[in-house]
Structure 1
Amino acid sequence: MSRPARPVGPHCMAVAVLLAALGPAALAPLSAMAQTTETPATLTAQPPPASPQAFGLEVRSSDEGIRDYLTQHLDLQRYRSLSDLDETELARLLRDADVQARELLGTLGFFKPTLSWSQDKSGNTGSLGLVRVDVDTGPAARVSEVQWQWLGDVADDPQARAQLQAIEQQWTLPAGETFSQNAWSRAKNQALRQLLAERYPWGRILHSLALVDEPSNQVRLWLTLESGPPVRLGALQISGADKYGATQVERLARLPVGQVYRQNDLLEAQQRLVTSGFYDSVFVSLDAEGNPAQAPVKVELKESLRQKWVLGLGVRSDSGARVSAEHTHHSVPGLHWRSVSKLSVDKDLQSASLDLLAPPDASLWRWNTSAKFDREKLFDVSLQSQRWRAGRTQLGERVDRSYFAQYDSARLQGDLQLQRESISANYGWTWRNFDSLPFPSRGLGVGVELGSGVTLGDQREPYVRWLVKGLGLVPLGTSLGRLAVRAEIGSVVSRDTSNLPATQLFWTGGDNSVRGYAPNSIGVSEADGITAPGRYLAAGSLEWQRPIRIKGQATDWESAVFVDAGAVANDTGQLQPQIGYGVGARWRSPVGPVRMDLAYAQALRKLRLHLSVGFTF
């Protein structure tokens, strides 16, 4: 005779109430222990003897996870130290433990387990012996069907139809999947997050039910979601904008009145305000008590100090210890631009720079100018360079643009100490379409750099420099992670590049190009053994990133397996790729992604460790 279907909820554990079962007799030994004829002077510092156990407990299962789960959560564990238990009381506890064990297994999707309880008194495990339970979970239950019910505006508004369909199509516990309480909870939470993410920030789960049919070992799911009214953004309510004004906040936030609510828009506005450097903390939220037709957006700020010093001490994987100092002035007197001065020193690189950035206008374009001086040891050569730049930049939601004039000067060791100079006009364009930053799991990014200039000196040679790079993240599934595909290609078009500064040509190698090789160590091999920059660049990478799980639960760590290749030459027919491959780890740290890679350079037959922080494209 089959048992009827029964609902499964999150609170399905049986609780054994020991005091009611044992009565006042159980308290007598405790009262006796409180009485002693010894005075404090006769007491010793020795620890009290361990209380003898009434019984031992052993859970046996072919699945280590099931064994550990039941051992940890069975209430029977709490009663092992009650030495005055008798056989009758233990039998009552075992009946309760059998019920609880079946309920615990039910939360994992096992509704037809076989449990065999036994008692072994041959060992020295307490007065009642060793209690053993052999667990055969049987097959896991599977979802037979999912019934959806939609209430509120989302059920009737044609504009919300795509959002509704996306929630149902991306449901993570469809028919045929193995059922568990955790999977059921995760699926419901994801569906609710998708509903709240756009148009309906006040949506809710009105009703949910998982109904188990034990004879068929199947589960039927019902879920009712209520969207509430659609919400559009109202006026910004800004607090804390005392030094730098509310106008700048409005321009950086880019949340126009009347725009349909999207949770990601508020997060991106918050990120833009934080990364602007003018604010130490930013919190952007929707006023829950506002009118849904135009709900006010609250922007709470803590402004940065007008001036700030940052001193740093760090380590680079390639050049050892590094000392740095940075000074920021958020409103230079008379100019009201922000200035950032930096100084960095290690054994391979000494760098000094100054950047001046104007406040954004109504279209978010900003004037900027900068100067940078570097003295760097690049693998087997030394390079002294300087760069002066002036132009405008616009940082958008998905697209960044910039145009600027630039002066370059470089002196390469072994090049007769001649200084090469050039002046150029440049344009940069970057498009990003990633699902989230700074921890993207899917998406595409493309960047283009284009410049045209002329060399300076006795012989003036015009040239065109271009560089295209791309990054694609392709998801493979929840457990398989994703593929990261990166490519970079560029060239300098000129009749003669001998008078061009080295900084306008190409090297590759290092953390973000070909791992296993030192930074900028892949170039053109000269007759004297120096690795010089070249006019053609081609590089690419294929990386498999997979989440690291512990007992089925995702962690903040991922593993990576990769292969990189890159080549630099003065003739396309001479592009011979240098290969690097290896393994690595990724950590979702509070300051952004941390990458640790151990790479093998095939051409050098050497291992190299690479460390880097942050996601940039």
Structure 2
Amino acid sequence: MFGPSKNKRFNTLTQTLFLWTAFFVWMTGCAGTVQAQTPSQAFDIEIQAPSEVQDYLQRHIELQRYRELTDLDASELARLLTAAERNLQDLLGTLGYFSPEIKLVVQDTPQNPKAARHVLITVQPGEPVKIAEFTLDFTGPITQDEATREQRRAIRANWALRRGMAFTQANWDAAKTQALRQLIAQRYPIGTISASQADIDPDTQTARLSVTLDSGPAYRLGPVQISGTQRYDEQLVTRLAQITQGADYSQSQLLEAQQRLLDSGFFDSAFVSLDTTGNPMAAPVLVQLREAKLQKIVLGVGISTDGGPRLSMEHTHHKVPGIGWQAVSKLSLDRETQSFGTELTAPPDASGWRWATSALFQSQTSGSFEVDSQRYRAGRGQTSERTDRNYYLQYDRAKAYGAGLPTVADALSANYAWTQRNFDSLPFPASGYGLGAELGGGVTLGSSREPYLRVLARWLGIWPLADAQAGTRATMRAGRVALRTEGGMVLARTGAELPSTQLFLTGGDNSVRGYAFRSIGTELPNGAIAAGRYLATGSVEWQRPIVINDKLTDWESTVFLDAGAVADKPSALQAQVGVGAGVRWKSPVGPLQIDLAYGVAVQQLRLHMSVGFTF
């Protein structure tokens, strides 16, 4: 009774489901077809060009901005392609190519008319424009002052674009900027570029360049105007800054004054500038300061291959009650050295000299011995950007643990130390030299009092391997050679009992790489290594920037050869050699040095790491 009615209802339901399923599948297919046929962009771009220009064009061509406009018709696209050709010519012109061959072809997709069109751009840049001649002229008071002849000569000599070099807009702009910077760095702070022209001849592929620098008036330094001080008087600021009224304006002098104020520790920030709105013959020097806190504590964590992990704590009091001197105390602990020192420094006098007294207590591994030492010093010092001078009295006491050395030795000495730095820039020097010397004379204070003389000298020279006329980029890519040497001697009677802290050891990160820290010394009869009376070390190093994709990076590679010796007699000096290679990184805190060295005498590889440049 229920069979026919049930089958009818089943068939009707089946047909209905089938129709709805078919309709859903059809709609899904149509939607998929529409989605597949709707392009995500109006066209894509392919640029075929030499590698030296392809990436640049791909990044900067304006046509890239219109790829997402899917409603572009053929006439609008044709208009964009016409504009794109002019844009490509301008882009190539900035790279020094003024006679390019450019073809733009739109390749349609007949198999799918609604798919994105393909724009093929073929570029033959042609020969680059070369500089045929350049003229650099001056106008203004600089042309009438014979004292500026050297400044004008230096600006012309350092002009970056030379005959025969390829012309690019970037290099042209950089050369003008460099020339202007040299002008305003000395005497003429408001100098300008009054005229410049790059005359390009596409037929001969040559460029004729001309620049005229207008010096404006010469400026002299006038009175110092100080702001931002509360705790310290203006006399301290002027003595630290060391700005000479009436001197010719020098940007480097103001920067050095600014750095001295910061290095003093009294100020968290310092900005020194020239007020050019007034009388050029007495332009005020503006010194804007923000004082540091009266006291501060600095905790430090570090690591080096010489000493291993290091912990330090430093306390500074900028104005000790009662005397007004600056006090700095520091505790430092690592694997090789544990030390505590404190130093009191007076404010500078009118000539920049400062009285100072200090004490240092130290326990250190020296050769085969553990040495506990004390050092007390009192004297005066003068520090500047390029020159340091110090003279002082010093008392040394050292106690060595081990057989073969005097248990305790004392000495009193008078010393003079001098350092000269003539590097082009710090802390990343590319050329220049540094020279330092120490001279001391004293007497031992043991069971017998013996006079002695101590001399130590060190030198570092850095030479670029490319001619400066080749330009900064070529000079940096060629690299440079660094030569370093150090020598010292202590003259005293053979049996004089000298503190080991007045003698010499070498080896480690900044001396002879490939050997442990202070492991090269004189060998005693029992085979132990002790500090000696004569020192000689030397090093030659080739430093070369690392270039990636034809671009200079902040990394450098280096290969080196070190040698050093310590002995109690000059005739006994026998060099121990280390060879190796490494890398350098221009880190925010100074040069990071990582070297792998092989010590020939010990036949071992040793990793060396250090941070910073000091001389």
Superposition TM-score, scaled by structure 2 size: 0.87
Question: In 2 relative to 1, CA 321–397 (structure 1 residues): closer, same or farther, beyond 3 Å?
Answer: closer
2:470: which partner in 1? none
Q: Does 1:544 align with 2:564?
A: no
Query: What corresponds to 2:429 in structure 1?
Result: 440
Contact 1:349 1:376 in 2 (8 A): yes
> How far apart are 1:287 and its partner, in Å?
0.9
Deviations 1:536-583 (A, max 9, x none): 111112222333455555444433332222111222233222222333
Q: 1:95 to 1:613 in 2, by over 3 A?
A: same
2:257 maps to which of 269, 275, 297 = 269
Aligned match of 1:178: 166
Contact 2:297 2:313 in 1 (8 A): yes
1:474 to 463, 468, 471: 463
SS of the residue 2:196 aligns to? strand
Asked if the contact 2:312–2:331 (Cα under 8 Å) also holds between the matched residues in 1, the reply is yes
Between the aligned partners of 2:497 and 2:367, the Cα distance in structure 1 is 22
Match of 2:70 among 83, 86, 91: 83
Q: Does 1:431 align with 2:420?
A: yes
SS in structure 2 opposite 1:438? coil
> 2-side partners of 1:121 and 1:413: how far apart?
89
Q: Are the counterparts in 2 of residues 51 and 81 from structure 1 also a CA contact under 8 Å? A: no
Q: Which position in structure 2 is the counterpart of 1:420?
A: 409
Q: Which residue of 2 aligns with 1:517?
A: 515
Show CA shifts across 1:33-66 (max 9, x none): xxxxxxxxxxxxxxx9996233322222342x42
Q: Over residues 482-541 of structure 1, what are the superposed CA-to-partner deviations in whole Å (9 max), with x where a residue is unaligned? A: 322211111111221661111111111122212222221111233433221111111112
Structure 2 match to 1:371:
359
Correspondence for 2:559: 561
Q: Which residue of 2 aligns with 1:594?
A: 592
Q: Note the 1:25-424 alignment, pairs <5 A.
A: 52-63=40-51, 65-120=52-107, 127-378=115-366, 380-415=368-403, 418-424=407-413
Q: Deviation at 1:586?
A: 3.0
- For 1:45, the equivalent position in structure 2 comes to none
Unaligned runs of 5+ in 2: 1-34, 467-474
The CA deviation at 1:612 is 2.4
* Contact 1:87–1:128, Cα closer than 8 Å, also in 2: no
| Structure 1 contact 484–542 (Cα < 8 Å) conserved | yes
Residue type matched to 1:475 in 2? P
SS at match of 2:259: helix
Where 2:359 maps in the other structure, the secondary structure is strand
Give 1:344 deviation, angstroms.
Answer: 1.1
1:389-440: CA deviation from partner (whole Å, max 9, x where unpaired): 1111112343221111111122223236711221111111112222233333
Report deviation, 1:587.
3.3
What is the deviation of 1:118? 4.0
Q: Give the superposition deviation at 1:614.
A: 2.5
Divergent runs of 4+, >6 A: 122-126
SS in 1 for 2:465: strand
CA contact 1:53–1:125 (8 Å) conserved in 2: no
Counterpart secondary structure, 1:454: strand
Q: Which moved more, 1:49-58 or 1:556-565?
A: 49-58
How many pairs were matched up?
Answer: 569
What percentage of residue pairs aligned between the two structures are identical?
52
How far residue 591 of structure 1 moved from its aligned partner, in angstroms, is 3.0
Matches within 5 A, 1:528-539: 528-539=526-537
Distance in 1 between residues matched to 2:353 and 2:189, nearest whole Å: 32
C-alpha RMSD over aligned residues: 2.3
SS at match of 1:238: strand
Q: Which residue of 1 aligns with 2:4?
A: none
> Aligned partner of 1:579: which letter?
V
Distance between the aligned counterparts of 2:91 and 2:137, measured in 1?
Answer: 29
Q: Would the alpha carbon gap of residues 189 and 551 (structure 1) be closer, same or farther in structure 2, given more than 3 Å must change?
A: farther
TM-aligned CA deviation for residue 277 of structure 1: 1.4
Cα distance between partner residues in 2 of 1:567 and 1:82: 75
Between Structure 1 and Structure 2, whose CA radius of gyration is higher?
2
1:192 deviation in Å?
Answer: 0.4
**Structure with more of its chain in helix, by fraction:** 2
Structure 1 residues 521 and 134, CA gap change in structure 2 (3 angstroms): farther
| Separation of aligned partners in 1, 2:112 and 2:349 | 81
Matched residues in 2 for 1:469 and 1:308: separation?
Answer: 35
The answer to whether the Cα contact below 8 Å between 1:199 and 1:262 also exists between their aligned partners in 2 is yes
